[in-house]
């Protein structure tokens, strides 16, 4: 039973890591094309930051946790300034 639980946690960690990475790269690509819809990169980055934050929490990677908390804050500011305000 413990083996299945560990396997499930590893798969979840891999899914969080790769989903966060792919969304982060997608947000960068969307912003780099500088189109009117590029502002939505902020929303994509926000989701990416949260996924990678959960991944870092699972791995107890405190440097990555710190960075993702900061990036989440900047993504929230960007989302507010570009989309809401």
Q: What is the pLDDT of residues 29-72, one digit of tens each?
A: 999 999 999 999 999 999 999 999 999 999 999 999 999 999 99
What b/e readout covers 14-32, taking b as 16+ CB neighbours within 10 angstroms? eebbebbeebbeebeebbe
pTM of the predicted model, to two decimals?
A: 0.90
> Both tokens of residue 4?
């299945």
Query: Residue 3 has what pLDDT?
Result: 77
C-beta of residue 72 within 8 angstroms of C-beta of residue 49? yes
Query: Residue 9 has what pLDDT?
Result: 85
Residue keyed to tokens 């699972």? 58
| CA separation, residue 70 to residues 7, 50, 51, 53, 66 (Å) | 30, 11, 14, 10, 6
Confidence band, pLDDT 50/70/90 cuts, at residue 5:
confident
């Amino acid at each position: 039973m413990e083996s299945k639980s560990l396997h499930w946690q590893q798969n979840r960690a891999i899914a969080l890591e790769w989903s966060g990475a792919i969304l982060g790269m997608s947000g960068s690509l969307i912003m780099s094309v500088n189109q009117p819809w590029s502002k939505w990169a902020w929303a994509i980055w926000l989701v990416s930051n949260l996924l990678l934050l959960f991944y870092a929490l699972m791995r107890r990677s405190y440097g990555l946790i710190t960075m993702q908390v900061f990036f989440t804050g900047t993504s929230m500011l960007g989302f507010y300034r570009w989309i809401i305000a």
